[in-house]
Amino acid sequence: MTSFQIPYDLYDVMINVHKGQSGYGIYFAQKESGDIVVTKIDQKSEADSAGVQPQDKLISVKDLDGVYPDEKMAVKAHDPSAGIVAPGEEVFVSKDNYHQALDMVRQMKYCQFKLLSKSLQDASNGKGPPCVF
């Protein structure tokens, strides 16, 4: 089976989530590889309804209220030459800005998460069924 390189901005799951009393109902951890993956989903959360699964990889976050990142956060863009991300812009999450992005998400009330499903990750590594684009 053939493997292929996934572009940093490829995703196949996108959810828009309002923050509840106990957060967004989706939990992440950083793997040794630097990937940030879902570790747990609260039942009946918006993430659960959208089909998010453990091991789905977090690609980006975006404040749908357009407030964050603010100038105090200074979240770096995926492309270093692009500088700092402006309020309301999509932040591509990497091992270099994971903690900044997490702090930003904790401040948001309405957030968009883009994820790469475990099944598409497996297909790209030649471990799962082939995927067709």
- Tell me how far apart the alpha carbons of residues 32 and 50 are, in angstroms, rounded to a whole number: 27
Q: Where are the domains of the chain?
A: 13-120
The model's pLDDT over 32-55, given as tens digits with 9 standing for 90+, comes to 988 999 999 999 888 888 889 999
Of 3.40.50.1000, 1.10.10.10, 2.30.42.10, 3.40.50.150, which CATH number belongs to 13-120? 2.30.42.10
**By the 8 A CB rule, do 109 and 115 touch?**
no
The more confident residue out of 13 and 81 is: 13
Strand partners, 26: 41
**Whole-number percent of the chain with pLDDT over 90:** 37
3-state secondary structure the chain: CCCCCCCCCCCCEEEEEECECCECCEEEEECCCCCEEEEEECCCCHHHHCCCCCCCEEEEEEECCCCCCCCCCCCECCCHHHCECCCCCCEECCCCCHHHHHHHHHHCCEEEEEEECHHHHHHHCCCCCCCCC
Q: Radius of gyration (Cα) for the chain, nearest Å?
A: 15
Q: How far is CA 30 from CA 14, 99, 107, 130, in A?
A: 20, 10, 20, 26
Backbone angles phi, psi at 26, to 5 degrees: -135, 135
Residue 1 has pLDDT above 50, yes or no: no
Tell me what the mean pLDDT of segment 5-26 comes to.
82
Tell me what the mean pLDDT of segment 104-126 comes to.
87
Residue 131 has pLDDT above 50, yes or no: no
Residue 83 has pLDDT above 70, yes or no: no
Q: pLDDT band for 133, please (50, 70, 90 cuts).
A: very low
